[in-house]
Amino acid sequence: MSRMIQACLATGFVLHMAACSALEPSKIGSYALKQEATPSGSIPQRIYVANESSNDISVIDANTFQSIGTIPSKNHSTHDLAVSRDGRRVYASNLASGRVSVIDTAKQETIASIYTGDRCHVVTLSNDDSQLWVANIGENTISIVDTTTFRILGTIPVGKGPTGLAFSHDGRFAFVSSQGEKTVGVIDTASHQVIKTIPVGANPHFLVVSRDGHVWGVNTGENDIYVLDPENHEKVGTFTVGDKPQQITFAYKGTQGPLAYVTVGSQNKIIGLSGDPGNLKVADEIAVGEGPNGIWSNPEGTRLFVAHDKGNEIRVIDTGTGQTLATVPVGRKPIRVVVSR
């Protein structure tokens, strides 16, 4: 199959026409889409954690670090999360179900379930929150979901085993890591074509774009991270951090930074890297709990929230001192953590 998006997407129609046309406007997937308006007022800042083995999302107050509750995803193997910029929606991928759960954060409940493809792995929102892109690892595709109607707009064929997704700051490009091909693909978001593939290393997974626009990724099958230039899309740096690097976020250590903090699953620690992407060096190293995986920072970049997939907990770490401020129990096998603004 060509790497061009299906013709139906190019013309603005839904690829899964047969499935979607059978749906009533008020229903998406197997759950009714509730039509009540979201209550007005601000949404308190919260930490959301995807628990893969308990099929739910833990909710934690981002200021007091107290547990608020647990939201059932109503699907299986809850894996990745994306939170809308207004904090009113959280989208969760569910590997075993091939579905994305849509969560109303004010009501703290799953309000819709969308089938996107076999083993949907990661989710990310476009820069204007109008589309949700979903990587389906079992079908080697990306599904594009309209976040207003919850309908699938189309599907883009990509490399084998897509496991990471991120958008450039200007929204012109999407980057997708493919574990089966050991590459990152660059997608032109206007034409929906893969315009370039970049060899990066064994079993690449997580991708994130830094504040200066560089694309950072981990080779979970090896022991290193890599950095891609935002202009020419060439690999400009690599650094060995240890076996099973998992995810990356950016934060400050006092006046240093932003550092790129990497969870290293095999060594129960996180490493902060500084310097030019082509000349990286270790600037911080913090011992954490067993099996660090997901990581996120607060908006000020002074705290890290780290999910431990073996310890079943979240640790809140002060990056200035490296000390743990709080440890919060969550569900089984927490994989991903995100924080609303």
Strand duo 183-188 + 173-178: pairing: antiparallel
CA atoms lying within 13 Å on the CB side of residue 166: 22
Mean pLDDT lowest among 41-50, 116-125, 281-290? 41-50
Residue 79 C-alpha from the chain's centroid: 9
Average pLDDT value for the chain: 89
% the chain with pLDDT above 90: 85
The stretch 257-262 carries a mean pLDDT of 96
**Token couple for 287:** 């011992």
The pTM (predicted TM-score) of the whole model is 0.88
Q: Are 186 and 196 in contact (CB under 8 A)?
A: yes
**pLDDT for residue 277:** 93
Q: Is the pLDDT of residue 4 over 50?
A: no
Q: What is the DSSP letter of 182?
A: T
Q: Is the pLDDT of residue 20 over 70?
A: no
Phi and psi at 8, nearest 5°, equal -65, -35
Q: Is the pLDDT of residue 292 over 50?
A: yes
Q: What is the DSSP string of 95-116?
A: TTTTEEEEEETTTTEEEEEEE-
Cα angle for residues 33, 38, 42 (degrees, 5° grid): 145
Q: Which of 75, 76, 102 is nearest to 91 (CA)?
A: 102
The stretch 78-102 carries a mean pLDDT of 97
**pLDDT for residue 43:** 74
Q: Is the pLDDT of residue 74 over 80?
A: yes
Other beta carbons within 10 Å of 252? 16
Q: Is the pLDDT of residue 309 over 90?
A: yes
Give the integer Cα–Cα distance in Å for 220 and 226: 11
Q: Is the pLDDT of residue 109 over 90?
A: yes
The stretch 29-50 carries a mean pLDDT of 60
Q: What is the DSSP letter of 43?
A: P
Strand duo 46-51 + 334-339: pairing: antiparallel
**pLDDT for residue 30:** 34
Mean pLDDT lowest among 6-20, 133-147, 303-317? 6-20
Other beta carbons within 10 Å of 311? 19
Q: Is the pLDDT of residue 25 over 80?
A: no
**pLDDT for residue 2:** 40
